Amino acid sequence: MPLTVTVSTTGQAATIDLTGELDAASAPAFHDTIEQAAAAGVRELVIRAHRLTYMASAGLRSLVFARQKLGDDVRITVLGAIAPVARTIRQAGFDCSVTLVDA
Amino acid sequence: MSPERIDAYPTRAIAGYGVRAGNPLPFGATAVPGGINFSVYSDRATRMWLVLFRPGEAEPAAELEFPAEFRIGSVFAMTVFGLDPETVEYGFRADGPFDPAHGDRFDPSRVLTDPYARTIAGRDVWGAEPDRDRLCPYRSRLVPDDFDWGDDAPPGIPTEDLVVYELHVRGFTCHPSSGVSAPGTYAGLREKIPYLRELGVNCVELMPVFEFDEHDNPRTDPVTGEPLLDYWGYNTVGFFAPKAGYAATGRFGMQADEFKSLVKDLHTAGIEVVLDVVFNHTAEGNEQGPTLSFRGLDNATYYMLTPDGDYYNFSGTGNTVNCNHPVVRDFVLNCLRHWVAQYHVDGFRFDLAAILDRAPDGTPLANPPLLEQLAHDPVLRHCKLIAEAWDAAGLYEVGSFPSYGRFAEWNGKYRDAVRRFLKGDPATVGELATRIVGSPDLYTGRGTAASVNFVTAHDGFTLHDLVTYNDKHNEANGEAGRDGANDNHSWNCGAEGPTDDPEILRLRTRQMKNALALLLTSHGVPMLLAGDEMARTQRGNNNTYCQDNELSWLDWSLLDANAGLHRFVRSLIAFRHAHPVLRSAAHPTCGVSWHGVRAGEPDWSAGCRLLAVTFAQGDERIHLAANAHWEAHELELPAPAPGTSWHLVADTSAEPPHDINPPTAETTLAVPDRYRIGPRSTVILLARPTT
């Protein structure tokens, strides 16, 4: 299932909705929205992931990209990731870079 | 907008890919603007190809021959544009003479693993059945350098303050009792960091984590006929690549990130990471072995060869890496720098390190250039460097390893002296005395930190088995009991193997505590084998290199079953950390006094089995008495400093919880200047102000 990325911004917070599969082919679209958020100078980024069905290594790398693009003082939350995705994020140690929150 | 880089454009096309002449350094694959730079050394190859794969596909996506003009010296270098560094897999195909008598074994039918491969695809999930017919079974990959290290910094613990804990990444949490979410992985070990902190160790020494193939073992279980694995992993396939099968995320190619997360969290917990590295041989074996990488790229450079072109076998595994060849020296150095810079590891333990000081013809060198280079390298400057100072061909250099003031050594003589004393061998007191003050006979001028003291390690019996078996029981290894050491200096305390005899069981527990008490009060760096603190058994097998099962895995239920032993070890480690007198960097001289049954009268005779010593530094006084005799003795104690009296820290003849008192809760003695030491027991006293 191809990835759909939508982004909305309220004040200094941006919310990115991901639907489908985040892999090497679709990661650039995700990166584009992160760059937009970074350019807008947001203080908080929420990645709504409950409709994300699969995250490949390129998708995991996108979280690192988000952290490094936005800087350490921006809170990044991954909201509602399904269990396999959340587990992989934790095992790779990326839960130190982003905050995982259940839906 | 920054200007486009001029070197980001191809100058020609090969096999549909834009390419240009590459940079010879760094070796391996490096992401550059618009593409990837590939660089590989071969002095004798006549032609070289870069072979590209798409993940999961059996056949190559493309083969690009390096144009002759892309060769600089003996390095083939080419930048290929339009490749995704996160997904591309690759190898090299090299052509040249096949003339073993002159050292050449080129085989252009093989696609070879890049010696500098940052990760390797092909062994992503531990135990998965390999496809032997697959072209290039170990495919090279790149690693993005984007890990979020935060403020990570090396703990920088002085070597003499270390308490090392040797463990196998998979075996530490693979047992169902471990309770971790990803058993047998870096992530699983990460979940056990709180346990390590509570135990008090401040350095983990990880058995090999460089990529290897666990199926690299031709033997079968003699009972079931099932194939045995290479569980330990001393047959390296990729020196720059973390073992993917040890990563819960290996199937996503995330093993580098998972390992880095482990290191980062260990550092946060104040625990250093030392890697057991194997540069003495590779997985290619002898001339019967597979051509995977070095052999097909430049056999005569990478391996020590006899004048007839055969492989020298100083490693006991079929080949020997030609460590003091200038190209190989650079390879080893670059590899170690990579693990320090990219993975933030704190040091290395060199397997069969005596091989690292052999010349290309096998002659031991007085001033081996590789070791000198490692000792003085700026990137490695603050790393711990630890040598297993012997090899499999009889070169034994404990105490004489060329250290350049930097290398510590696994002190095999410490191990043997403690074992022989504890089992009650005659004429052992003198050597024990030398060993517990940091082996000044071996390390004059190098200090106590040169001596990594241990009683047990992965090679040999566990501590439980050391006091449970007289003989090795290695039948399960499928080698008819021929493998493994025979000179174990072990004693079963009266019955071979498991027993219900309560006297024997009590004695075994006491003997384990005796060993641990000596180890953790000796000068030098103590190293524990993981699980010894809870009496892990391998059922008498002293060489479990091929046992990927409950024989090797740590059974965490032992933590409850042997809670008293665990408490004893934890308390002893805390005691060591609390008392600098046990950790002086210099060999203690004037602060040491020796005793026997009578204070100030040590008995160095062959029949004596009792030794006592007082360590003094400033106001601190610690008295250690070890009795390997089968009878109790009434000890006369030396006078402590004025205003202080001896307090009991530990007595291995007492039952828990009276076997050890926690810090500041040491108890006064019934008679201030005497103490009855039980048969085969160890006593530790601390001088504290008299209240």
- Which of A56, A91, A96 is facing B248, going by the closest CB pair? A91
Model pLDDT, residue A28:
87
Residue of B148, B193, B258, B344 to mutate, interface with A, max A Cβ within 10 Å: B148
Closest CA to B36 of B114, B147, B137: B114
DSSP sequence for B314-326: TTSSS--B-TTSH
Count CB neighbours of B490 within 10 A: 21
Contact B408, B386 (CB under 8 A): yes
Structure tokens at B49: 């190809």
Structure tokens at B258: 């998972």
- Are A65 and B87 inside 8 Å of each other by CB? no
Contact B408, B417 (CB under 8 A): no
For B652-665, the pLDDT digits (tens) are 999 999 999 998 89
Average pLDDT for B560-585: 97
- In chain B, residues with a C-beta closer than 8 Å to the C-beta of A94 are 148, 257, 261
Written as tens digits, the pLDDT of chain A (103 aa) is: 789 999 999 989 999 999 999 888 888 889 899 988 888 889 999 999 999 988 888 888 888 889 888 888 899 999 999 998 899 999 999 888 899 998 6
Confidence of residue B130 (pLDDT cuts 50, 70, 90): confident
- In chain B, residues with a C-beta closer than 8 Å to the C-beta of A91 are 181-182, 185, 187, 247-249, 254, 258
CA distance A11 to chain B (A): 27
Distance CA B521, CA B531 (A): 19
- Are B187 and A91 inside 8 Å of each other by CB? yes
Structure tokens at B262: 């482990």
Secondary structure class of B161 (helix, strand, coil): helix
Distance CA B592, CA B603 (A): 16
Residue of B118, B254, B344 to mutate, interface with A, max A Cβ within 10 Å: B254
Cβ–Cβ contact A54 with B under 8 A: no
B453 pLDDT more than 50: yes
Q: What sign has the CA pseudo-torsion B300, B304, B283, B377?
A: negative
Q: Which residues pair with B141 in a beta bridge?
A: B119
- Residue B138, amino acid: Y
Residue of A nearest to B55 (CA): A24
B2 pLDDT more than 70: no
The ipTM estimated for the assembled molecules is 0.86
- Residue B184, amino acid: G
CA distance B181 to chain A (A): 9
- Which of A61, A91, A92 is facing B86, going by the closest CB pair? A61
Which residues of B are designated catalytic? 351, 388
Position with higher pLDDT, B161 vs A88: B161
Cβ–Cβ contact A99 with B under 8 A: no
Count CB neighbours of B261 within 10 A: 27
B262 pLDDT more than 60: yes
- Which of A56, A88, A96 is facing B261, going by the closest CB pair? A96
DSSP sequence for chain A: ---EEEEEEETTEEEEEEEEEESTTTHHHHHHHHHHHHHHT-SEEEEEEEEEEEE-HHHHHHHHHHHHHH-TTSEEEEES--HHHHHHHHHTTGGGTSEEE--
Contact B387, B592 (CB under 8 A): no
Q: How far is CA B655 from CA B510, B568, B661, B666, B671, in A?
A: 9, 11, 12, 16, 20
Using DSSP bridges, classify how beta strands B451-454 and B407-410 pair: parallel, antiparallel or unpaired.
parallel
Average pLDDT for B179-185: 97
Secondary structure class of B533 (helix, strand, coil): helix
- In chain B, residues with a C-beta closer than 8 Å to the C-beta of A68 are 146, 148
Count CB neighbours of B14 within 10 A: 19
Scanning the structure block, which residue is given the tokens 């029981």?
B473
Cβ–Cβ contact A40 with B under 8 A: no
Residue B331 dihedral angles phi and psi, to the nearest 5°: -60, -50
Contact B386, B164 (CB under 8 A): no
B134 pLDDT more than 90: no
Distance CA B143, CA B24 (A): 19
CA B1 to chain centre: 50
What are the DSSP E strand ranges found in B426-542? Answer: 451-454, 525-529
Cis amide leading into B26 (omega within 30): yes
Cβ–Cβ contact A100 with B under 8 A: no
Average pLDDT for B618-634: 96
Residue of B nearest to A97 (CA): B148
Q: Which DSSP category does B573 fall into?
A: H
Average pLDDT, chain B: 96
- In chain B, residues with a C-beta closer than 8 Å to the C-beta of A93 are 187, 190, 257-258, 260-262, 264-265
Contact A10, A44 (CB under 8 A): no
B393 pLDDT more than 80: yes
- Are B258 and A92 inside 8 Å of each other by CB? yes
CA distance B274 to chain A (A): 20
Scanning the structure block, which residue is given the tokens 């060198």?
B365
Residue of B nearest to A73 (CA): B150
Residue B363 dihedral angles phi and psi, to the nearest 5°: -70, 130
For B358-375, the pLDDT digits (tens) are 999 999 999 999 999 999
- In chain B, residues with a C-beta closer than 8 Å to the C-beta of A61 are 86, 144, 146
Using DSSP bridges, classify how beta strands A75-79 and A99-101 pair: parallel, antiparallel or unpaired.
parallel
Closest CA to B550 of B564, B571, B570, B531: B531
Distance CA B79, CA B9 (A): 10
Distance CA A38, CA A47 (A): 14
Contact B242, B181 (CB under 8 A): no
CA distance B263 to chain A (A): 10
- In chain A, residues with a C-beta closer than 8 Å to the C-beta of B248 are 88, 91
Model pLDDT, residue B5:
67
Stated as kind and residue range, the H or E segment containing B39 is strand B35-41
Using DSSP bridges, classify how beta strands A4-10 and A13-22 pair: parallel, antiparallel or unpaired.
antiparallel
Longest dimension (CA), chain B: 91
Model pLDDT, residue A61:
86
Position with higher pLDDT, B94 vs B589: B94
Contact B220, B226 (CB under 8 A): yes
CA distance B92 to chain A (A): 25
- Are B252 and A57 inside 8 Å of each other by CB? yes
Structure tokens at B32: 């550059």
- Are B260 and A93 inside 8 Å of each other by CB? yes
Distance CA B519, CA B522 (A): 5
For B201-250, the pLDDT digits (tens) are 999 999 999 999 999 999 999 999 999 999 999 999 999 999 999 999 99
CA distance B19 to chain A (A): 23
